[in-house]
Amino acid sequence: MKRLHDAGHRGFASDNYAGAHPEVLAAIAEANEGHQISYGEDVYTQRLADVMREHFGGRADVFPVFNGTGANVTALMSLLPRWGAVVTTSTAHIHTDENGAPERVGGLKLLPIATPDGKLTPELIDREAWGFGDEHRAQPLVVSITQTTELGTLYTAEEIRAIADHVHDKGMRLHMDGARLANAAAALGVPLREFTTDAGVDILSFGGTKNGILFGEAIVVLDPTVSDGLIYLRKLNMQLASKMRFVSAQLLALFEDDLYLRSAGHANAMAARLRAALEHTEGLTFSRPTQANAVFAVLANDAADRIRERVRFYDWNRAAGEVRWMTAFDTTEADVDTFVEVIREELAA
């Protein structure tokens, strides 16, 4: 097939826009020849289980799936009875971007809480963690946090530990949406286990698509005593890959020579470069801290529209003039510098 797009074109709309990392494509090719047992009995999926235990602890169990929504919904379903509810932020992906899948597919009640920075705290959680034993109220039995958050902010290991202790004391469980978990690890400079397993997270949605794989995520059960029925729920939710070796091989590639950290660290560095270059630019202010690979800024809508005609990105809150710029593993310094010049030109215009 002839290439249909300009391979040199890059935008700042989403890290999902990026292609697959060459090392991931090489891993798929390596896994391709010959026959392997389907539905997860292949040697790549077995090896992935070992690697996940190396990073998350000896009790970790891994369930590769197709996508992040599938990982989140299926993981949460495994934690909850039919009368259960999930406390989360009002900006959480499960609340704003998964098109009712938690409710309609999972049958889950979401209890969203407004936060200033996309992060929950024990005090915020208590706004919805009540009514235990009340037959008139969906029972708040799980808290879901996102790392990094949808607003580009980070939880420290200490903050996660405080949340985990708080919810566990209430008999609740803690789920982490780790769509950009690698970006968090690169920014925090600590092992994955330190802010997941060791911090008290019970179950994790491990992201790969935003960090250079073609497709696929994984549910990682960190405490096997709290999750039930995942081998059935994964199939029920249409997340069981017959040729699972190709999902597992991609995830394995992320751990080879710390590719997940190299890629995410580069994306973070490009976001920092973008922000630093635009500091003190007239007509533009930053609305949120840049802690990973997201930059949030406020500028006039007409200027944003002109810039977007040249380099694609998304509005975050058009009423407030807030936009989001994302960097990826393949964003180059030249990409950033060109984007900065476009922004400056259009703001000056």
Q: What is the pLDDT of residue 9?
A: 87
Number of domains in the chain: 2
Per-residue tokens: 275: 């922000």
| 228 and 289 inside one domain | no
| 53-72 average pLDDT score | 98
| 62 and 120 inside one domain | yes
Note the pLDDT tens digit of each residue in 192-204: 999 999 999 999 9
Q: What is the pLDDT of residue 328?
A: 98
| 186 and 113 inside one domain | yes
Note the pLDDT tens digit of each residue in 10-49: 899 999 999 999 999 999 999 999 999 999 999 999 999 9
| pLDDT(321) > 90 | yes
* Domain-ending residue, one of 234, 257, 280: 257
| 150 and 107 inside one domain | yes
Question: To the nearest whole number, what is the mean pLDDT of the chain?
Answer: 97
Residue for token digits 């808290």?
A: 143
| 122 and 80 inside one domain | yes
| 203 and 275 inside one domain | no
- List the CATH number of the domain containing 171: 3.40.640.10
Note the pLDDT tens digit of each residue in 232-247: 999 999 999 999 999 9
For the full predicted model, state whether its pTM sits above 0.85.
yes
| 36 and 164 inside one domain | yes
Q: Could you tell me the pLDDT band of residue 8, with boundaries at 50, 70 and 90?
A: confident
CB 92 within 8 A of CB 112: yes
Residue 264 lies in a domain: yes
Q: What is the pLDDT of residue 108?
A: 95
Per-residue tokens: 57: 């602890």
| 252 and 302 inside one domain | no
| 274 and 248 inside one domain | no
| 302-321 average pLDDT score | 97
Q: Could you tell me the pLDDT band of residue 319, with boundaries at 50, 70 and 90?
A: very high
| 130-139 average pLDDT score | 97
Vertex 239: Cα angle to 172 and 118 (nearest 5): 45
Q: What is the pLDDT of residue 288?
A: 97
Which residues are bridge partners to 298 per DSSP?
A: 285, 322
In what side-by-side order are the strands of the sheet with 203-206?
Answer: 61-65, 217-221, 203-206, 173-178, 139-146, 84-89, 109-113
| 244 and 273 inside one domain | no
CB atoms within 10 A of CB 90: 13
CB atoms within 10 A of CB 39: 13
Residue 8 lies in a domain: no
What is the distance between the alpha carbons of residues 197 and 161, in angstroms, rounded to a whole number? 10
- DSSP codes of every residue in 273-310: HHHHHHTT-TT-EE-S---SSEEEEE--HHHHHHHHHH
* Domain-ending residue, one of 207, 232, 257: 257
**What range defines the domain where residue 97 resides?**
21-257
Residue 107 lies in a domain: yes
| 217 and 290 inside one domain | no
What is the distance between the alpha carbons of residues 80 and 308, in angstroms, rounded to a whole number? 42
Residue 2 lies in a domain: no
| pLDDT(77) > 90 | yes
Alpha-helical regions (H) of 126-229: 157-169, 181-188
| 172 and 130 inside one domain | yes
Residue 14 lies in a domain: no
* Domain-ending residue, one of 204, 237, 257: 257
Residue 10 lies in a domain: no
| pLDDT(226) > 90 | yes
Q: What is the pLDDT of residue 7?
A: 87
- List the CATH number of the domain containing 326: 3.90.1150.10
